[in-house]
Chains A and B, each alone.
Chain A
Amino acid sequence: MLLTYARLGSWRWVLLGLTLLVTLYLLLPIVFIVALSFGSSQWMIFPPPGWTLRWYEALAEDPRWLETALTSLEVGVLVAALSVALGLAAAFALVRGRFRGRQVLRLVFLTPMVLPVVIFAVAVYGFYLRLGLNGTLLGFVLAHTVLAFPFAVLTISNALAQFDPSIEDAAILCGASPLAAKWRVTLPNIRLGLISAAIFSFLISWDEVVVAIFMGSPTLQTLPVHIWGMLRQDLSPAVAAASSILVGITLVLMLVAALLTRKSKA
């Protein structure tokens, strides 16, 4: 018989407790960070002796925070656009293509997902030294796109595989050119997949720190790298404030992605 929740008897309290513990373990650090960012103690004492917004003011006063955040945003948006465009092309090849080596190609596309990031970062750093791309916007975008691409390929392939190609054929028979049929019929119907892919790609770039540390220059730095630098210099609650904002943005984007996937299943 299947082990269902209803059959567990008193074990269900154990299960409940375990779930609670895991949830707390996952959530508490975030709660602490957010609480500390509003705490008045400079040494991040918990529980905070009083409440203040001055760490957020400190963020606003130091232009480096806004600068690096804008850099991260710029890189993230470009990465999202590029990885969705490439992911869409790759998904068409993988889902619709009937050529030899398709499965191999699929694995190749997914390797950045399993390759240790540090190894990838070192490789990219060495490669970029020759090309002079380290510390440039293009360098950041290309490197992060490699990391985001597998997720875009997976998400868009799934969406495309669920879309009956006969519908595209119908559009063509109706008089739409093959390209127009894809643009006017196929893309609107896999849009949720495209949006999810864009959000995930953005998030991957948005909180990527390893590659960004290798590639960063004094003039071009992403927000996670700046946070990391600040942490090493002095442990100011401003870092907690910046982290809280990051958590907030990520949470909103994840929520949007989750809502979209739910809507697509409904």
Chain B
Amino acid sequence: MTDPFLHVDELRMAYGHVTAVDHVSIEIPKGEFLTFLGPSGSGKSTTLYAIAGLLEPTGGDIRLEGRSILKTPPHRRNMGMVFQRYTLFPHLTVAENVAFPLRVRGCPGAEVDAKVKAMLALVRLEKFADRLPAKLSGGQQQRVALARALAYDPPVLLMDEPLSALDKKLREEIQVEIRRIHRETGVTILYVTHDQEEALRLSDRIALFNAGRIEQIGTCADLYARPDSHFVAAFIGDSNFLSGTIESVEGPMASVVLPDGSRRRGTLGRGAKAGPGMTAELMVRPRRIVVADEGLAVRIDDCTFLGDDLVIQAECHWGQELWFRAPLALAGQFTPGTIARVNWAEEDALVFPTHTVQV
């Protein structure tokens, strides 16, 4: 088997007693747009900084096209990077900023000029070539930073929450730009964000980080439809969790007894070790819950009109809350205080044992 284009192999980063990155392994094919998604402090940025060479790993290896890059100092790694904060060189114009990496590499002047022009065209900022960074908006600055990071044709482009300082509308605009630039250049992109919507919008695959480990890695659809764990199910998309006890396990399916005594079947989370008697969470997406004649009895707490449909907050009689959506036509049925019955298909339920074996 050939080595992947970029291989993060059992990466470990510890500071004193704190393990920021705990045996993280990722294989990234050339040209992929991979997002590191996760809450703050989950180790996603630390992993990115280790690939950039700005932080030194405690253990493990990072290989680019089969060769370890750990011994290569950051300025020789040839990585492109766009930072969370604005990092354009304040004393240089936009064009000089983009030219900087080429000049330190000793490129001839004519080549530099041509490349700068091409890069500014790529991010559509040709008109701003002679401005100083302070005269640009935040979004423009990050686009120049992108042009600067791509000017020397890096094998990998690292992006550390580059849009987190921008407002929503601008962020979405630049996300479209980043997608286009990824298509046009074919560069491999590793993108760090804590915003699941941004991750879903941009990525080919998502690596979901939690507490220094990768919880799951896969396509956006994978992570949404087949979450491996409670954490993934809760982080990607909306979800309802109902606690219960596992009664029996048959292959990939488990039967869970809910507090009201009713039985519900669902698919076990991948790799989860489950057995009868274990406590577990039954997960159902709000979109998969329907109102039916038979099913779980819930008391309606609140019904909100939200454009295309209704959002209904409800409570099981043992106190656990859940919510779901319903078509507008049913508005009359959901007066707060009434009891409704809700149901879902067996294949839409997932079961996550609470006592997962800690590795």
A residues with CB within 8 A of B: 164, 166-167, 169-178, 180-181, 184-185, 188-189
- Top 6 A-B residue pairs of the complex, sorted by shortest distance between their CB atoms: A174-B101, A170-B87, A173-B81, A188-B91, A167-B87, A176-B104
Give chain A's interface secondary structure class: helix
Query: Within 8 Å CB of A181, what residues of B?
Result: 75
CB-defined A-B contacts under 8 Å, sample of 23 = A166-B85, A166-B87, A169-B83, A169-B87, A170-B81, A170-B87, A170-B88, A170-B89, A170-B145, A171-B100, A173-B54, A173-B149, A174-B148, A175-B75, A175-B104, A175-B152, A176-B75, A177-B75, A178-B75, A181-B75, A185-B89, A188-B91, A189-B89
A-contact bits for B58-87, CB 8 A (1 contact / 0 none): 000000000000000111111111011111
Q: Is B17 an interface residue (CB 8 A)?
A: no
Query: Within 8 Å CB of B85, what residues of A?
Result: 164, 166
Q: Is B90 an interface residue (CB 8 A)?
A: yes
Which residue of chain B has its CB nearest to the CB of A169? B54
Q: How far is the CA of A129 from the CA of B328 in the complex (A)?
A: 96
B78/A175 in contact, CB under 8 A:
yes
Query: Within 8 Å CB of B73, what residues of A?
Result: 177
Query: Within 8 Å CB of A170, what residues of B?
Result: 81, 83, 87-89, 145, 148
Q: How far is the CA of A144 from the CA of B73 in the complex (A)?
A: 40
Which residue of chain A has its CB nearest to the CB of B100? A174
Q: Is B350 an interface residue (CB 8 A)?
A: no
Query: Within 8 Å CB of B90, what residues of A?
Result: 167, 189
Query: Within 8 Å CB of A185, what residues of B?
Result: 89, 91
Q: Is B223 an interface residue (CB 8 A)?
A: no
Query: Within 8 Å CB of A184, what residues of B?
Result: 100, 104
B74/A173 in contact, CB under 8 A:
yes
Q: Is B105 an interface residue (CB 8 A)?
A: yes
Question: Which of A164, A172, A175, A180 has most B Cβ within 10 Å?
Answer: A175
- New A-B pairs, 18, CB < 8 Å, besides A173-B80, A175-B152: A164-B86, A166-B83, A169-B87, A170-B88, A170-B148, A172-B54, A173-B74, A173-B149, A174-B100, A174-B149, A175-B75, A175-B78, A176-B104, A181-B75, A184-B100, A188-B91, A189-B89, A189-B91
- Report which of A166, A169, A175 forms a contact with B101, defined as CB distance below 8 A: A175
Q: How far is the CA of A193 from the CA of B120 in the complex (A)?
A: 32
A172/B75 in contact, CB under 8 A:
yes
CB distance from B282 to the nearest CB of A (A): 45
Q: How far is the CA of A145 from the CA of B166 in the complex (A)?
A: 47
- Report which of A166, A167, A173, A188 forms a contact with B75, defined as CB distance below 8 A: A173
Q: How far is the CA of A184 from the CA of B97 in the complex (A)?
A: 12
Q: How far is the CA of A169 from the CA of B53 in the complex (A)?
A: 10
A174/B83 in contact, CB under 8 A:
no
CB distance from B235 to the nearest CB of A (A): 27
Query: Within 8 Å CB of A164, what residues of B?
Result: 85-87
Which residue of chain A has its CB nearest to the CB of B87? A170
CB distance from A156 to the nearest CB of B (A): 17
CB distance from A94 to the nearest CB of B (A): 21
Which residue of chain B has its CB nearest to the CB of A168? B87
CB distance from A260 to the nearest CB of B (A): 14
Q: How far is the CA of A181 from the CA of B81 in the complex (A)?
A: 15
Query: Within 8 Å CB of B145, what residues of A?
Result: 170
Given known pairs A169-B83, A170-B83, the reply for A175 and B89 (CB within 8 Å) is no
Which residue of chain A has its CB nearest to the CB of B160? A166
Q: How far is the CA of A120 from the CA of B275 in the complex (A)?
A: 80
Q: Is B52 an interface residue (CB 8 A)?
A: yes
Which residue of chain B has its CB nearest to the CB of A167? B87
Q: How far is the CA of A87 from the CA of B341 in the complex (A)?
A: 75
CB distance from A193 to the nearest CB of B (A): 13
Q: How far is the CA of A172 from the CA of B53 in the complex (A)?
A: 10
A-contact bits for B32-56, CB 8 A (1 contact / 0 none): 0000000000000000000011100
CB distance from A189 to the nearest CB of B (A): 5
CB distance from B338 to the nearest CB of A (A): 56
Which residue of chain B has its CB nearest to the CB of A188? B91
CB distance from B220 to the nearest CB of A (A): 28
B87/A180 in contact, CB under 8 A:
no
CB distance from A182 to the nearest CB of B (A): 12
CB distance from A250 to the nearest CB of B (A): 29
Q: How far is the CA of A5 from the CA of B105 in the complex (A)?
A: 58
CB distance from A183 to the nearest CB of B (A): 11
CB distance from B307 to the nearest CB of A (A): 41
A173/B89 in contact, CB under 8 A:
no
A174/B104 in contact, CB under 8 A:
yes
Which residue of chain B has its CB nearest to the CB of A181? B75
Query: Within 8 Å CB of B75, what residues of A?
Result: 172-178, 180-181
- Report which of A166, A172, A175, A189 forms a contact with B105, defined as CB distance below 8 A: A175
Q: How far is the CA of A180 from the CA of B76 in the complex (A)?
A: 13
